[in-house]
Structure 1
Amino acid sequence: MKSPAAINKRKAYQNIGLEWLIPAVVVVLWQWFVSAGLISQRILPTPVAVVEAGIKLVRNGDLFVYIGDSSRRALLGFVIGGGIGFALAIINGLLPLFEKLTDSSIQMIRTIPHLSLIPLIIAWFGIGEQGKIFLVALGVAFPIYLNTLHGIRAVDPGLIEMGRTYGLRGFSLFRTIIFPGALPSILVGLRFALGIMWITLIVSETISANSGIGYMAMNAREFFQMDIVVLSIVIYALLGKLSDWIAKVMERSWLQWHPHYRKGK
Protein backbone atom coordinates (compact mmCIF):
# COMPACT_ATOMS: atom_id res chain seq x y z
CA MET A 1 0.00 0.00 0.00
CA LYS A 2 1.36 3.39 -0.99
CA SER A 3 2.08 5.98 1.67
CA PRO A 4 0.09 9.25 1.77
CA ALA A 5 3.27 11.14 0.76
CA ALA A 6 3.67 8.98 -2.36
CA ILE A 7 0.00 9.41 -3.25
CA ASN A 8 0.21 13.19 -2.84
CA LYS A 9 3.39 13.28 -4.94
CA ARG A 10 1.76 11.26 -7.71
CA LYS A 11 -1.31 13.50 -7.60
CA ALA A 12 0.93 16.58 -7.86
CA TYR A 13 2.63 15.18 -10.97
CA GLN A 14 -0.76 14.37 -12.49
CA ASN A 15 -1.97 17.92 -11.81
CA ILE A 16 1.15 19.37 -13.47
CA GLY A 17 0.60 17.13 -16.48
CA LEU A 18 -3.02 18.23 -16.80
CA GLU A 19 -2.10 21.91 -16.46
CA TRP A 20 0.44 21.72 -19.29
CA LEU A 21 -1.47 19.31 -21.54
CA ILE A 22 -3.31 21.95 -23.59
CA PRO A 23 -0.23 24.22 -24.03
CA ALA A 24 1.78 21.18 -25.18
CA VAL A 25 -0.90 20.23 -27.72
CA VAL A 26 -1.03 23.81 -28.98
CA VAL A 27 2.75 23.86 -29.48
CA VAL A 28 2.70 20.55 -31.36
CA LEU A 29 -0.13 21.69 -33.63
CA TRP A 30 1.59 25.04 -34.14
CA GLN A 31 4.81 23.31 -35.25
CA TRP A 32 2.89 20.97 -37.54
CA PHE A 33 0.77 23.66 -39.23
CA VAL A 34 3.79 25.86 -39.98
CA SER A 35 6.05 22.97 -41.06
CA ALA A 36 3.32 21.68 -43.38
CA GLY A 37 3.08 25.09 -45.03
CA LEU A 38 -0.48 25.74 -43.89
CA ILE A 39 0.77 28.90 -42.15
CA SER A 40 3.58 31.02 -43.58
CA GLN A 41 6.69 31.36 -41.42
CA ARG A 42 6.71 35.06 -42.26
CA ILE A 43 3.46 35.34 -40.34
CA LEU A 44 4.12 32.84 -37.56
CA PRO A 45 7.54 31.20 -37.08
CA THR A 46 7.76 27.67 -35.75
CA PRO A 47 8.29 26.96 -32.04
CA VAL A 48 11.75 25.66 -32.94
CA ALA A 49 12.63 29.01 -34.56
CA VAL A 50 11.34 30.85 -31.49
CA VAL A 51 13.49 28.69 -29.19
CA GLU A 52 16.53 29.28 -31.42
CA ALA A 53 15.95 33.03 -31.25
CA GLY A 54 15.77 32.79 -27.47
CA ILE A 55 19.04 30.84 -27.33
CA LYS A 56 20.77 33.53 -29.39
CA LEU A 57 19.52 36.27 -27.07
CA VAL A 58 20.63 34.26 -24.04
CA ARG A 59 24.11 33.82 -25.49
CA ASN A 60 24.62 37.53 -26.14
CA GLY A 61 23.15 38.37 -22.73
CA ASP A 62 20.32 40.60 -23.94
CA LEU A 63 17.40 38.40 -22.93
CA PHE A 64 18.14 38.40 -19.21
CA VAL A 65 18.63 42.18 -19.27
CA TYR A 66 15.23 42.67 -20.92
CA ILE A 67 13.51 40.27 -18.51
CA GLY A 68 15.21 41.92 -15.54
CA ASP A 69 14.13 45.41 -16.59
CA SER A 70 10.52 44.35 -17.10
CA SER A 71 10.37 42.35 -13.87
CA ARG A 72 11.78 45.26 -11.87
CA ARG A 73 9.14 47.63 -13.22
CA ALA A 74 6.37 45.13 -12.62
CA LEU A 75 7.39 44.36 -9.04
CA LEU A 76 7.96 47.99 -8.07
CA GLY A 77 4.59 49.00 -9.48
CA PHE A 78 2.91 46.05 -7.80
CA VAL A 79 4.41 46.78 -4.38
CA ILE A 80 3.52 50.47 -4.55
CA GLY A 81 0.02 50.08 -5.97
CA GLY A 82 -0.77 46.95 -3.99
CA GLY A 83 0.42 48.54 -0.76
CA ILE A 84 -1.71 51.63 -1.31
CA GLY A 85 -4.79 49.58 -2.25
CA PHE A 86 -4.35 47.26 0.72
CA ALA A 87 -3.88 50.12 3.19
CA LEU A 88 -6.94 51.98 1.91
CA ALA A 89 -9.03 48.81 2.13
CA ILE A 90 -7.95 48.16 5.71
CA ILE A 91 -8.72 51.74 6.76
CA ASN A 92 -12.09 51.83 4.98
CA GLY A 93 -13.02 48.34 6.13
CA LEU A 94 -12.38 49.09 9.79
CA LEU A 95 -13.39 52.76 9.95
CA PRO A 96 -16.82 53.46 8.36
CA LEU A 97 -16.25 57.22 8.49
CA PHE A 98 -13.20 56.98 6.24
CA GLU A 99 -15.11 54.74 3.85
CA LYS A 100 -17.83 57.37 3.52
CA LEU A 101 -15.20 60.03 2.85
CA THR A 102 -13.02 58.18 0.34
CA ASP A 103 -14.77 55.17 -1.21
CA SER A 104 -16.89 57.18 -3.66
CA SER A 105 -13.82 59.01 -4.97
CA ILE A 106 -11.89 55.75 -5.26
CA GLN A 107 -14.70 54.16 -7.26
CA MET A 108 -14.82 57.11 -9.66
CA ILE A 109 -11.08 56.83 -10.30
CA ARG A 110 -11.42 53.06 -10.68
CA THR A 111 -13.90 53.41 -13.54
CA ILE A 112 -11.35 55.32 -15.62
CA PRO A 113 -9.47 52.82 -17.88
CA HIS A 114 -5.95 53.27 -16.63
CA LEU A 115 -4.41 52.41 -20.01
CA SER A 116 -6.23 55.39 -21.53
CA LEU A 117 -3.99 57.60 -19.39
CA ILE A 118 -0.85 56.62 -21.30
CA PRO A 119 -0.68 59.84 -23.40
CA LEU A 120 -1.07 61.92 -20.25
CA ILE A 121 1.51 59.85 -18.37
CA ILE A 122 4.00 60.23 -21.22
CA ALA A 123 3.46 63.99 -21.05
CA TRP A 124 4.04 63.92 -17.28
CA PHE A 125 6.92 61.43 -17.00
CA GLY A 126 8.27 61.00 -20.53
CA ILE A 127 9.29 57.45 -21.53
CA GLY A 128 11.32 56.85 -18.37
CA GLU A 129 10.76 54.36 -15.59
CA GLN A 130 8.42 56.51 -13.48
CA GLY A 131 5.57 56.47 -15.98
CA LYS A 132 5.54 52.68 -16.38
CA ILE A 133 5.76 52.08 -12.63
CA PHE A 134 2.99 54.61 -12.01
CA LEU A 135 0.75 52.92 -14.59
CA VAL A 136 1.33 49.44 -13.14
CA ALA A 137 0.69 50.74 -9.62
CA LEU A 138 -2.55 52.34 -10.73
CA GLY A 139 -3.71 49.14 -12.41
CA VAL A 140 -3.04 46.79 -9.50
CA ALA A 141 -4.28 49.04 -6.68
CA PHE A 142 -7.99 48.65 -7.38
CA PRO A 143 -8.41 44.83 -7.51
CA ILE A 144 -6.47 44.54 -4.26
CA TYR A 145 -8.51 47.35 -2.71
CA LEU A 146 -11.87 45.89 -3.74
CA ASN A 147 -11.13 42.29 -2.77
CA THR A 148 -9.55 43.23 0.54
CA LEU A 149 -12.48 45.47 1.42
CA HIS A 150 -14.93 42.74 0.40
CA GLY A 151 -13.04 40.22 2.50
CA ILE A 152 -13.18 42.41 5.60
CA ARG A 153 -16.90 43.02 5.14
CA ALA A 154 -17.55 39.30 4.64
CA VAL A 155 -16.02 38.25 7.96
CA ASP A 156 -18.70 36.64 10.13
CA PRO A 157 -19.88 39.22 12.70
CA GLY A 158 -20.43 36.34 15.12
CA LEU A 159 -16.71 35.54 15.04
CA ILE A 160 -15.84 39.16 15.71
CA GLU A 161 -18.25 39.26 18.64
CA MET A 162 -16.81 36.02 19.98
CA GLY A 163 -13.31 37.48 19.74
CA ARG A 164 -14.39 40.50 21.72
CA THR A 165 -15.93 38.20 24.30
CA TYR A 166 -12.50 36.63 24.76
CA GLY A 167 -10.97 40.06 25.29
CA LEU A 168 -9.59 40.73 21.80
CA ARG A 169 -9.45 44.39 20.87
CA GLY A 170 -7.77 46.54 18.26
CA PHE A 171 -4.84 44.95 16.45
CA SER A 172 -5.24 41.64 18.29
CA LEU A 173 -8.81 41.32 17.00
CA PHE A 174 -7.70 42.23 13.49
CA ARG A 175 -4.76 39.78 13.50
CA THR A 176 -6.69 36.89 15.03
CA ILE A 177 -10.17 37.17 13.50
CA ILE A 178 -10.55 39.78 10.75
CA PHE A 179 -7.38 39.27 8.70
CA PRO A 180 -7.58 35.44 8.53
CA GLY A 181 -11.26 35.68 7.61
CA ALA A 182 -10.53 38.17 4.83
CA LEU A 183 -7.42 36.37 3.56
CA PRO A 184 -9.12 34.17 0.89
CA SER A 185 -10.62 37.26 -0.73
CA ILE A 186 -7.33 39.15 -0.41
CA LEU A 187 -5.48 36.39 -2.26
CA VAL A 188 -8.09 36.38 -5.03
CA GLY A 189 -7.41 40.09 -5.45
CA LEU A 190 -3.69 39.33 -5.49
CA ARG A 191 -4.05 36.87 -8.37
CA PHE A 192 -6.27 39.26 -10.28
CA ALA A 193 -3.81 42.11 -9.73
CA LEU A 194 -0.87 40.03 -10.95
CA GLY A 195 -2.61 39.49 -14.27
CA ILE A 196 -3.36 43.20 -14.62
CA MET A 197 0.25 43.94 -13.71
CA TRP A 198 1.63 42.10 -16.73
CA ILE A 199 -1.06 43.36 -19.12
CA THR A 200 -0.32 46.94 -18.08
CA LEU A 201 3.40 46.45 -18.44
CA ILE A 202 3.05 44.92 -21.92
CA VAL A 203 1.06 47.88 -23.19
CA SER A 204 3.25 50.52 -21.56
CA GLU A 205 6.49 48.95 -22.81
CA THR A 206 5.30 48.53 -26.38
CA ILE A 207 4.20 52.18 -26.55
CA SER A 208 7.09 53.92 -24.82
CA ALA A 209 10.23 52.15 -23.68
CA ASN A 210 13.95 51.95 -24.33
CA SER A 211 14.45 48.62 -22.55
CA GLY A 212 12.47 45.59 -21.43
CA ILE A 213 10.58 42.78 -23.12
CA GLY A 214 8.11 45.14 -24.80
CA TYR A 215 10.99 47.18 -26.22
CA MET A 216 12.57 43.96 -27.49
CA ALA A 217 9.32 43.08 -29.28
CA MET A 218 8.85 46.51 -30.85
CA ASN A 219 12.48 46.70 -31.93
CA ALA A 220 12.17 43.25 -33.54
CA ARG A 221 8.97 44.30 -35.29
CA GLU A 222 10.82 47.15 -37.02
CA PHE A 223 13.12 44.57 -38.65
CA PHE A 224 10.31 42.01 -39.11
CA GLN A 225 11.98 39.52 -36.78
CA MET A 226 8.80 37.62 -36.05
CA ASP A 227 10.59 34.91 -34.08
CA ILE A 228 11.66 37.49 -31.47
CA VAL A 229 8.21 39.09 -31.45
CA VAL A 230 6.60 35.72 -30.70
CA LEU A 231 9.33 34.99 -28.16
CA SER A 232 8.38 38.18 -26.33
CA ILE A 233 4.75 37.07 -26.16
CA VAL A 234 5.76 33.63 -24.86
CA ILE A 235 7.98 35.20 -22.18
CA TYR A 236 5.12 37.41 -20.99
CA ALA A 237 2.87 34.34 -20.83
CA LEU A 238 5.46 32.37 -18.84
CA LEU A 239 6.04 35.26 -16.44
CA GLY A 240 2.29 35.53 -15.93
CA LYS A 241 2.08 31.78 -15.28
CA LEU A 242 4.97 32.01 -12.81
CA SER A 243 3.25 34.85 -10.93
CA ASP A 244 -0.01 32.93 -10.75
CA TRP A 245 1.81 29.81 -9.54
CA ILE A 246 3.45 31.81 -6.75
CA ALA A 247 0.02 33.14 -5.74
CA LYS A 248 -1.40 29.60 -5.67
CA VAL A 249 1.51 28.42 -3.51
CA MET A 250 0.73 31.26 -1.11
CA GLU A 251 -2.92 30.15 -1.02
CA ARG A 252 -1.99 26.56 -0.18
CA SER A 253 0.51 27.69 2.44
CA TRP A 254 -1.55 30.37 4.19
CA LEU A 255 -4.97 28.78 3.89
CA GLN A 256 -4.33 25.23 5.04
CA TRP A 257 -7.18 25.64 7.50
CA HIS A 258 -9.61 26.29 4.63
CA PRO A 259 -11.17 23.15 3.07
CA HIS A 260 -10.79 24.48 -0.49
CA TYR A 261 -7.05 25.19 -0.17
CA ARG A 262 -5.72 22.11 1.61
CA LYS A 263 -2.55 20.50 0.30
CA GLY A 264 -2.98 17.77 -2.21
CA LYS A 265 -5.90 19.44 -3.97
Structure 2
Amino acid sequence: MTASLSSTGRAPTEARADRDPIPVTTVRTRTARRENRVPRWVFKLVSPVALVALWQLLSSTGVLSDDILASPATVLGTGVGLWEEGRLQEAILTSVQRVGAGLAIGVVAAVVLATLSGLFRRGEDIIDAPMQMLRTVPVIGLIPLLIIWFGIGEQPKIVLISLAVTFPLYMNIYGGIRNVDAGLVEAAKTLGLGWFAQVRHVILPAAMPNALVGLRYSLGSAWLALVFGETINATAGIGYEMNMAREFLQTDVIVVCLVLYALLGLVADFVVRLLERVVLAWRPAFSGA
Protein backbone atom coordinates (compact mmCIF):
# COMPACT_ATOMS: atom_id res chain seq x y z
CA MET A 1 0.00 0.00 0.00
CA THR A 2 1.67 3.23 -1.13
CA ALA A 3 1.41 6.55 0.66
CA SER A 4 -0.16 9.45 -1.22
CA LEU A 5 2.20 12.22 -2.36
CA SER A 6 1.64 15.96 -2.32
CA SER A 7 2.20 18.28 -5.29
CA THR A 8 5.83 18.61 -4.29
CA GLY A 9 6.34 14.87 -4.51
CA ARG A 10 6.71 14.33 -0.74
CA ALA A 11 4.42 12.67 1.73
CA PRO A 12 2.00 15.00 3.61
CA THR A 13 3.64 14.21 6.95
CA GLU A 14 7.04 15.28 5.61
CA ALA A 15 5.62 18.52 4.23
CA ARG A 16 4.01 19.37 7.57
CA ALA A 17 7.32 18.66 9.33
CA ASP A 18 9.06 21.21 7.10
CA ARG A 19 6.41 23.86 7.70
CA ASP A 20 5.85 23.31 11.43
CA PRO A 21 9.09 22.45 13.28
CA ILE A 22 8.65 20.77 16.62
CA PRO A 23 9.05 23.38 19.41
CA VAL A 24 11.90 22.80 21.85
CA THR A 25 11.10 23.35 25.51
CA THR A 26 13.94 24.56 27.72
CA VAL A 27 13.73 23.37 31.31
CA ARG A 28 15.20 25.80 33.84
CA THR A 29 16.03 24.41 37.25
CA ARG A 30 15.24 26.23 40.47
CA THR A 31 18.95 26.91 41.04
CA ALA A 32 19.37 28.43 37.57
CA ARG A 33 16.35 30.71 38.05
CA ARG A 34 17.66 31.86 41.42
CA GLU A 35 21.15 32.57 40.02
CA ASN A 36 19.62 34.62 37.19
CA ARG A 37 17.75 36.75 39.69
CA VAL A 38 20.63 37.40 42.11
CA PRO A 39 24.28 37.25 40.99
CA ARG A 40 26.52 34.97 43.03
CA TRP A 41 28.94 37.77 43.92
CA VAL A 42 26.16 39.39 45.94
CA PHE A 43 25.97 36.34 48.21
CA LYS A 44 29.76 36.29 48.52
CA LEU A 45 29.77 39.88 49.78
CA VAL A 46 27.00 39.47 52.34
CA SER A 47 29.04 37.88 55.14
CA PRO A 48 32.16 40.15 54.85
CA VAL A 49 30.02 43.30 54.71
CA ALA A 50 27.93 42.12 57.67
CA LEU A 51 31.07 41.36 59.66
CA VAL A 52 32.55 44.80 59.00
CA ALA A 53 29.21 46.46 59.85
CA LEU A 54 29.07 44.57 63.15
CA TRP A 55 32.66 45.55 63.88
CA GLN A 56 31.88 49.24 63.22
CA LEU A 57 28.75 49.03 65.36
CA LEU A 58 30.66 47.58 68.31
CA SER A 59 33.33 50.26 67.95
CA SER A 60 30.80 53.09 67.68
CA THR A 61 28.91 51.95 70.77
CA GLY A 62 32.12 51.68 72.80
CA VAL A 63 32.08 47.92 73.20
CA LEU A 64 35.40 47.80 71.35
CA SER A 65 37.81 50.58 72.25
CA ASP A 66 40.57 51.74 69.90
CA ASP A 67 43.15 50.41 72.35
CA ILE A 68 41.77 46.90 71.86
CA LEU A 69 40.80 47.08 68.18
CA ALA A 70 40.57 50.15 65.98
CA SER A 71 37.29 50.71 64.15
CA PRO A 72 36.98 50.10 60.39
CA ALA A 73 36.72 53.84 59.77
CA THR A 74 39.97 54.44 61.69
CA VAL A 75 41.69 51.58 59.87
CA LEU A 76 40.60 52.95 56.51
CA GLY A 77 41.89 56.42 57.38
CA THR A 78 45.21 54.99 58.58
CA GLY A 79 45.56 52.95 55.39
CA VAL A 80 44.96 56.00 53.23
CA GLY A 81 47.53 57.97 55.23
CA LEU A 82 50.16 55.23 54.92
CA TRP A 83 49.50 55.01 51.19
CA GLU A 84 49.95 58.74 50.77
CA GLU A 85 53.25 58.53 52.65
CA GLY A 86 54.40 55.73 50.33
CA ARG A 87 54.98 53.27 53.17
CA LEU A 88 52.35 50.79 52.03
CA GLN A 89 53.69 50.61 48.46
CA GLU A 90 57.22 49.96 49.71
CA ALA A 91 56.06 47.33 52.19
CA ILE A 92 53.92 45.50 49.61
CA LEU A 93 56.69 45.50 47.01
CA THR A 94 59.27 44.15 49.47
CA SER A 95 57.00 41.40 50.79
CA VAL A 96 55.84 40.34 47.32
CA GLN A 97 59.45 40.05 46.16
CA ARG A 98 60.30 37.81 49.11
CA VAL A 99 57.27 35.59 48.55
CA GLY A 100 57.97 35.44 44.82
CA ALA A 101 61.56 34.33 45.31
CA GLY A 102 60.67 31.75 47.97
CA LEU A 103 57.73 30.48 45.93
CA ALA A 104 59.85 29.99 42.82
CA ILE A 105 62.48 27.98 44.70
CA GLY A 106 59.89 25.94 46.59
CA VAL A 107 57.83 25.10 43.50
CA VAL A 108 60.87 23.94 41.52
CA ALA A 109 62.11 21.81 44.43
CA ALA A 110 58.68 20.28 45.07
CA VAL A 111 57.99 19.48 41.40
CA VAL A 112 61.38 17.84 40.87
CA LEU A 113 61.31 15.81 44.09
CA ALA A 114 57.67 14.76 43.78
CA THR A 115 58.06 13.74 40.13
CA LEU A 116 61.11 11.61 40.84
CA SER A 117 59.50 10.07 43.91
CA GLY A 118 56.13 9.51 42.27
CA LEU A 119 57.30 8.05 38.96
CA PHE A 120 60.15 5.86 40.16
CA ARG A 121 60.14 3.32 42.99
CA ARG A 122 63.83 3.90 43.60
CA GLY A 123 63.13 7.62 43.79
CA GLU A 124 60.45 6.97 46.38
CA ASP A 125 62.88 4.87 48.43
CA ILE A 126 65.47 7.65 48.44
CA ILE A 127 63.36 10.81 48.58
CA ASP A 128 60.01 10.12 50.22
CA ALA A 129 61.19 8.97 53.65
CA PRO A 130 63.33 12.10 54.34
CA MET A 131 60.54 14.35 53.04
CA GLN A 132 58.00 12.70 55.33
CA MET A 133 60.30 13.23 58.31
CA LEU A 134 61.19 16.83 57.49
CA ARG A 135 57.59 17.91 56.82
CA THR A 136 56.69 17.07 60.44
CA VAL A 137 59.29 19.54 61.72
CA PRO A 138 57.68 22.97 62.34
CA VAL A 139 59.16 25.31 59.76
CA ILE A 140 59.05 28.18 62.23
CA GLY A 141 61.27 26.19 64.58
CA LEU A 142 64.03 26.33 61.98
CA ILE A 143 64.43 30.10 62.29
CA PRO A 144 67.35 29.92 64.79
CA LEU A 145 69.23 27.50 62.53
CA LEU A 146 68.52 29.60 59.46
CA ILE A 147 69.94 32.66 61.20
CA ILE A 148 73.08 30.72 62.11
CA TRP A 149 73.47 29.33 58.60
CA PHE A 150 72.50 32.35 56.48
CA GLY A 151 72.81 35.36 58.78
CA ILE A 152 70.11 38.00 59.26
CA GLY A 153 69.78 39.24 55.69
CA GLU A 154 67.28 38.24 53.02
CA GLN A 155 68.49 34.64 52.67
CA PRO A 156 66.86 33.17 55.81
CA LYS A 157 63.53 34.80 54.95
CA ILE A 158 63.51 33.36 51.42
CA VAL A 159 64.65 29.91 52.60
CA LEU A 160 61.92 29.88 55.25
CA ILE A 161 59.26 30.66 52.62
CA SER A 162 60.73 28.05 50.27
CA LEU A 163 60.48 25.35 52.92
CA ALA A 164 56.91 26.33 53.75
CA VAL A 165 56.01 25.98 50.07
CA THR A 166 57.93 22.79 49.27
CA PHE A 167 56.39 20.28 51.67
CA PRO A 168 52.63 20.74 51.03
CA LEU A 169 53.18 21.01 47.29
CA TYR A 170 55.36 17.89 47.30
CA MET A 171 52.71 15.90 49.17
CA ASN A 172 49.95 16.86 46.74
CA ILE A 173 51.95 16.24 43.57
CA TYR A 174 53.27 12.92 44.88
CA GLY A 175 49.78 11.85 45.94
CA GLY A 176 48.35 12.94 42.60
CA ILE A 177 50.86 10.86 40.65
CA ARG A 178 50.41 7.77 42.80
CA ASN A 179 46.59 8.03 42.68
CA VAL A 180 46.37 8.00 38.88
CA ASP A 181 43.92 5.32 37.75
CA ALA A 182 45.92 2.23 36.77
CA GLY A 183 43.31 1.49 34.11
CA LEU A 184 44.24 4.67 32.27
CA VAL A 185 47.90 3.67 32.26
CA GLU A 186 47.05 0.20 30.97
CA ALA A 187 44.87 1.70 28.26
CA ALA A 188 47.75 3.95 27.21
CA LYS A 189 50.03 0.92 26.99
CA THR A 190 47.44 -0.94 24.92
CA LEU A 191 47.30 2.00 22.51
CA GLY A 192 51.05 1.73 22.06
CA LEU A 193 52.17 4.82 23.96
CA GLY A 194 55.74 4.73 25.21
CA TRP A 195 56.75 5.49 28.78
CA PHE A 196 57.42 9.20 28.19
CA ALA A 197 54.16 9.55 26.27
CA GLN A 198 52.29 7.90 29.15
CA VAL A 199 53.82 10.35 31.60
CA ARG A 200 53.10 13.35 29.39
CA HIS A 201 49.59 12.50 28.20
CA VAL A 202 48.17 10.42 31.05
CA ILE A 203 50.00 10.58 34.39
CA LEU A 204 50.87 14.27 34.66
CA PRO A 205 47.49 15.56 33.41
CA ALA A 206 45.71 13.24 35.84
CA ALA A 207 47.90 14.52 38.70
CA MET A 208 47.37 18.19 37.78
CA PRO A 209 44.23 18.74 39.93
CA ASN A 210 46.11 17.63 43.05
CA ALA A 211 49.09 19.77 42.08
CA LEU A 212 46.95 22.91 41.78
CA VAL A 213 45.28 22.22 45.13
CA GLY A 214 48.76 21.90 46.62
CA LEU A 215 49.78 25.17 44.99
CA ARG A 216 46.84 26.98 46.56
CA TYR A 217 47.72 25.55 49.96
CA SER A 218 51.39 26.41 49.46
CA LEU A 219 50.56 30.04 48.71
CA GLY A 220 48.79 30.30 52.06
CA SER A 221 51.79 28.73 53.77
CA ALA A 222 54.09 31.17 51.98
CA TRP A 223 52.30 34.22 53.38
CA LEU A 224 52.23 32.66 56.83
CA ALA A 225 55.98 32.00 56.69
CA LEU A 226 56.53 35.57 55.51
CA VAL A 227 54.97 36.91 58.71
CA PHE A 228 57.56 35.05 60.78
CA GLY A 229 60.36 35.61 58.30
CA GLU A 230 59.98 39.36 58.46
CA THR A 231 60.66 39.26 62.18
CA ILE A 232 64.30 38.38 61.36
CA ASN A 233 65.94 41.80 61.43
CA ALA A 234 63.64 43.17 58.70
CA THR A 235 63.92 46.84 57.78
CA ALA A 236 61.02 46.85 55.30
CA GLY A 237 57.94 44.85 54.45
CA ILE A 238 54.46 44.32 55.80
CA GLY A 239 55.73 42.29 58.75
CA TYR A 240 58.19 45.06 59.62
CA GLU A 241 55.38 47.62 59.68
CA MET A 242 53.34 45.29 61.88
CA ASN A 243 56.18 44.79 64.33
CA MET A 244 56.80 48.52 64.59
CA ALA A 245 53.09 49.10 65.20
CA ARG A 246 53.12 46.47 67.93
CA GLU A 247 55.88 48.35 69.76
CA PHE A 248 53.73 51.50 69.83
CA LEU A 249 50.38 49.70 70.38
CA GLN A 250 49.00 50.99 67.07
CA THR A 251 46.14 48.56 66.50
CA ASP A 252 45.00 50.46 63.40
CA VAL A 253 48.33 49.90 61.63
CA ILE A 254 48.33 46.24 62.70
CA VAL A 255 44.88 45.73 61.20
CA VAL A 256 45.96 47.49 57.98
CA CYS A 257 48.86 45.04 57.68
CA LEU A 258 46.57 42.08 58.35
CA VAL A 259 44.17 43.31 55.67
CA LEU A 260 47.09 43.59 53.25
CA TYR A 261 48.11 40.00 53.95
CA ALA A 262 44.54 38.86 53.37
CA LEU A 263 44.15 40.80 50.12
CA LEU A 264 47.46 39.59 48.73
CA GLY A 265 46.54 36.02 49.64
CA LEU A 266 43.16 36.38 47.91
CA VAL A 267 44.79 37.78 44.77
CA ALA A 268 47.27 34.89 44.67
CA ASP A 269 44.47 32.36 45.19
CA PHE A 270 42.42 34.02 42.45
CA VAL A 271 45.32 33.68 40.02
CA VAL A 272 45.61 29.96 40.78
CA ARG A 273 41.86 29.49 40.32
CA LEU A 274 42.09 31.13 36.90
CA LEU A 275 44.98 28.80 36.12
CA GLU A 276 42.79 25.86 37.12
CA ARG A 277 40.09 26.92 34.67
CA VAL A 278 42.62 27.06 31.84
CA VAL A 279 44.67 23.97 32.64
CA LEU A 280 41.73 21.81 33.72
CA ALA A 281 39.26 22.95 31.06
CA TRP A 282 39.13 19.33 29.81
CA ARG A 283 38.00 18.03 33.21
CA PRO A 284 34.34 18.72 34.11
CA ALA A 285 33.88 18.95 37.85
CA PHE A 286 31.00 19.31 40.28
CA SER A 287 30.37 23.01 40.98
CA GLY A 288 27.82 22.73 43.76
CA ALA A 289 24.07 22.33 43.89
Q: Which has the larger radius of gyration?
A: 2
Q: What's 2:126 paired with?
A: 101
Q: What's 1:172 paired with?
A: 197
1:225 to 2:275 alignment: no
Q: What's 1:152 paired with?
A: 177
- More displaced stretch, 245-254 vs 80-89: 245-254
How many residues are aligned here?
Answer: 260
Counterpart of 1:94, as a letter, is L
Counterpart of 1:163, as a letter, is A
Q: Tell me if the contact between 1:187 and 1:251 (Cα under 8 Å) persists in the aligned partners.
A: yes
Distance 2:149 2:112 in 1: 26
For residue 211 of structure 2, the aligned residue among 186, 194, 208 is 186
Structure 1 residues 187-209: Cα deviation after superposition (integer angstroms, max 9, x where no partner): 11111111111111112213531
Counterpart of 1:175, as a letter, is R
RMSD: 2.4
1:79 to 2:100 alignment: no
Q: Residues 40-119 of structure 1 correspond to what in structure 2 (within 5 A)? A: 40-119=65-144
Q: What's 1:38 paired with?
A: 63
Structure 1 residue 124 displacement after superposition: 2.1
**Superposed structure 1 runs of 4+ greater than 4 Å apart:** none
Structure 1 residue 93 displacement after superposition: 1.0
Q: Could you say which structure has the higher helix fraction? A: 1
Q: Percent identity?
A: 42
User: Alignment partner of 2:66: what SS?
Assistant: coil
Structure 1 residue 235 displacement after superposition: 0.7
Counterpart of 2:222, as a letter, is M
Distance 1:62 1:171 in 2: 51
1:131 to 2:186 alignment: no
Structure 1 residues 7-66: Cα deviation after superposition (integer angstroms, max 9, x where no partner): 89x66x833222232111111111110011111112111111111111111112111110
User: Alignment partner of 1:40: what SS?
Assistant: coil
Q: What's 1:196 paired with?
A: 221
Structure 1 residue 259 displacement after superposition: 2.4
User: Alignment partner of 1:259: what SS?
Assistant: coil
Counterpart of 2:141, as a letter, is S
User: Alignment partner of 1:38: what SS?
Assistant: coil
Q: Tell me if the contact between 1:147 and 1:188 (Cα under 8 Å) persists in the aligned partners.
A: yes
User: Alignment partner of 1:241: what SS?
Assistant: helix
Give me the TM-score of the superposition, normalised by structure 2.
0.84
Distance 1:39 1:118 in 2: 35
Q: Tell me if the contact between 1:255 and 1:261 (Cα under 8 Å) persists in the aligned partners.
A: no
- More displaced stretch, 182-191 vs 169-178: 169-178
Structure 1 residues 191-238: Cα deviation after superposition (integer angstroms, max 9, x where no partner): 111111111111221353111000011112222222111100111111
Structure 1 residue 242 displacement after superposition: 1.4
User: Alignment partner of 1:206: what SS?
Assistant: coil
Q: Tell me if the contact between 2:110 and 2:169 (Cα under 8 Å) persists in the aligned partners.
A: yes
Distance 1:169 1:143 in 2: 31
User: Alignment partner of 1:164: what SS?
Assistant: helix
Distance 2:143 2:259 in 1: 24
Distance 1:19 1:78 in 2: 29
Q: Tell me if the contact between 1:252 and 1:261 (Cα under 8 Å) persists in the aligned partners.
A: no
1:212 to 2:234 alignment: no
User: Alignment partner of 2:147: what SS?
Assistant: helix
Structure 1 residue 261 displacement after superposition: 6.3
Distance 2:236 2:139 in 1: 22
Q: Tell me if the contact between 2:157 and 2:232 (Cα under 8 Å) persists in the aligned partners.
A: no
Structure 1 residues 75-128: Cα deviation after superposition (integer angstroms, max 9, x where no partner): 111110111011111111111111112211111111111111111212222321
For residue 274 of structure 2, the aligned residue among 235, 249, 255 is 249
Distance 1:259 1:187 in 2: 15
Distance 2:48 2:152 in 1: 35
Counterpart of 2:254, as a letter, is V
Distance 1:95 1:240 in 2: 34
For residue 162 of structure 1, the aligned residue among 187, 193, 218 is 187
